Structure 1
Amino acid sequence: MAIHKVNLDEFEEIEYAIIAIHSTMEDYRLAYSVNSSLQINLAKNPKDLFVKIKEGETFFSRFSFYDAKKDRYWHLIQNKNEVIQTKNNTKTNLFLEQEIEISVQTYLIPELKKADYFLKIEASQNNFNVSQTVTKLNAIDAINMSYSIETENIKSKNNLIF
């Protein structure tokens, strides 16, 4: 039986930037505002981002756009969602074996719980200015705050692979 060794140099690492966005606006309205400000065309992705976590399975909405001229992928991803868990109440009381539904807040990136959305831009760093994009996002009235995230500091970056 032949053994095939894979060298880590054979894999191409995709460079991307992450911008955290704090906003109470609905995802489709935020996508419209981001489109207007950045002159892009984010559209609702038919496949939401599926993540399996300890609380259960959840989906996060995602808006995507590919800019062929500049060779960039743009993704606006929801960070917060709720999972409804069903638990059986086995205590002996008047309502025996009653099912209780509990709503649990889940996060795509748990270490950044305060961020409502993420804007992931897949582009080479030498032809993309993150600070200029953050400035344009902060000019949107519906966005309370946006800032760049260092991707090395994110522990759950596997959730951003799609």
Structure 2
Amino acid sequence: MAIHKLDLGEFDEIDYYLIAIHTSLEDYRLAYFINQKLLINLSKNENEIQINIKEGETKFSRFYYYDIDKALSWNLIQNKNEVIQHKKDNSQNLFSNTTLEVLTKVHLLPEFKKVDYFLKIDNCDETISVSDVMTLLNTIDNISTVYTVDTNKIKSKNNLIF
């Protein structure tokens, strides 16, 4: 009988680029402008990224496109969202027996709190120039900053597995 071993080191390889985007645009408008500039077809994905934290559960929007010719996978991911937490007010005053709604800001990658969106390009080898992609993204009017994220500095890499 043969013994098969699985080397977990194979799963630690990073084969994607992560581009941080700072903008005030809504996700659907940003996806539209990216589609125009990069000539891709990002569309809203029904499988949003779900994160559970102690305050509750939240979902981050995701736009996805798979380029068959280049075998590239493009994901535009929201980084900021809010969790609504309902708390009972136990104090004895005029407003007792009320339910308070507490909003908590949540980030997909907490170490990058100022980033609004991430553009994740999977299976990216030599088929595409990331610097060219960043140059094209910088031409979109309402984008203030675009830069690549060093994937070795990401502590919450598991949030990018989807």
What TM-score do the two structures reach when normalised by structure 1? Answer: 0.91
Gaps of 5+ in 1: none
Cα RMSD between the aligned structures? 1.8
Q: Deviations for 1:124-149, whole angstroms, at most 9, x for unmatched residues?
A: 33333211111110111121111100
CA–CA distance in structure 2, aligned partners of residues 90 and 74 of structure 1:
48
- The alignment of Structure 1 onto Structure 2 pairs a total of residues equal to 160
Cα gap change, 1:109 to 1:17, in 2 (>3 Å): same
Which residue number in structure 2 is paired with residue 43 of structure 1?
A: 43
CA–CA distance in structure 1, aligned partners of residues 118 and 124 of structure 2:
18
Q: Which amino acid is 1:90 matched to?
A: N
SS of residue in 2 equivalent to 1:134? helix
SS of residue in 2 equivalent to 1:144? strand
> Shift in Å at residue 83 of structure 1?
1.0
Gaps of 5+ in 2: none
Identity among equivalent positions (%) equals 54
CA–CA distance in structure 2, aligned partners of residues 20 and 107 of structure 1:
13
Which residue number in structure 1 is paired with residue 73 of structure 2?
A: 73
Q: Deviations for 1:84-111, whole angstroms, at most 9, x for unmatched residues?
A: 1111111222332321101111111111
Aligned runs of 1:44-59 on 2, under 5 Å? 44-59=44-59
Which range moved further: 45-54 or 71-80?
45-54
Structure 1 runs of 4+ with >4 Å offset: 9-12
Aligned runs of 1:19-38 on 2, under 5 Å? 19-38=19-38
Which range moved further: 35-44 or 86-95?
86-95
CA–CA distance in structure 1, aligned partners of residues 92 and 148 of structure 2:
52
Cα gap change, 1:96 to 1:15, in 2 (>3 Å): same
SS of residue in 2 equivalent to 1:36? helix
